[in-house]
Amino acid sequence: MNTSDNNIVELTRPAPGITVLWLNRPEKHNAFDPALIAAIHQNVEQLRADASTRVLILAGRGKSFCSGADLHYMKSMVNFSLDENIADAGRLAAMLQALHQFNKPIIAAVHGNVYAGATGVVACADFVIAADDARFCISEVKLGLVPAVISPYVMAKMGVHFARRYFLTAEVFDASAAQQARLVHECVAPGTLMDKAMQVATQLLNNAPAALAATKTLIRELIAVPDREVMTQYTCELIARIRAGDEAQAGLQAFFDKQRAPWLPAEPNQSSQNEPAS
């Protein structure tokens, strides 16, 4: 089975029938860039046809499962044309679709930061196990962005009730809150994360492969994910326009400069200094 040229995705086979796909950019908290997105997509498509893989586990090397998009790359999108921006967003959408349509059970075993686009990956998994120290955040609006491409999957998992809160507040929430929000099925001690994932994977191996595939198709037909073509076009165009815009670029620059974003209210001491004398 192939991995990416620089091993940003790593495949291991801890037991017959079980494959672990590791995100392997630990120095970047496994942040998504075009190479990582392409490597995940390529390997998922290959594993779809791999008879020796009956259960897929998604996991991350290093301190985090995935911190979302690589913001340096995101900021560079201002120099892309609208069509190039849309095509780039389409590559993330295609990777998520490959996970969503995968014909075998997917277990996501997550720890550390699970931010932004990573929540989309988690939402495409069939069984999500989170270490107690995992931290979740749908952080886009804090940077002037929009959770566009991931939204159909995350909303299908969370429902509108929780999506309204976490999409709009961009707050960080823990594994227990993620379980309450239906993004996570089970929380475990950090040191037992992969043991629990293997336990669930082994249990799934007891079930008939064709029946599992047919059941996954049944679930996809019944859950409320909008029409794929219309959904992809809309969400990709939306994020393409937003991330190249002045507000998002200002927000990203403020993040890199460790400065306050321009839309934040003035600090109390700044407000008092600007008030006219009585």
- pLDDT tens track for 267-276: 776 544 444 4
**Long-range contact pairs involving 210-218 (C-beta distance under 8 Å, separation at least 24):** 212/104, 212/105, 213/103, 213/104, 216/102, 216/103, 216/104, 216/105, 216/126, 217/103
End-to-end Cα distance, the chain: 74
- The upper half-sphere exposure of residue 120, i.e. CA atoms within 13 Å in the direction of its Cβ, equals 25
Q: Which pair of structure tokens corresponds to residue 81?
A: 């044309």
CA-based torsion, 182, 185, 189, 194: positive or negative: negative
Residue extents of the structural domains in the chain: 9-243
Cα–Cα–Cα angle for 33, 36, 42, rounded to 5 degrees? 135
Of the given ranges (36-45, 136-145, 249-258), which has the lowest mean pLDDT? 249-258
- What homologous superfamily does CATH list for 9-243? 2-enoyl-CoA Hydratase; Chain A, domain 1 (3.90.226.10)
Residue pair 259/247 in contact (Cβ under 8 Å)? The answer is no
Q: What is the pLDDT of residue 79?
A: 79
Q: Which pair of structure tokens corresponds to residue 194?
A: 């992969």
- pLDDT tens track for 203-251: 999 999 999 999 999 998 887 666 667 888 899 999 989 988 899 889 9
Distance CA 121, CA 183 (A): 11
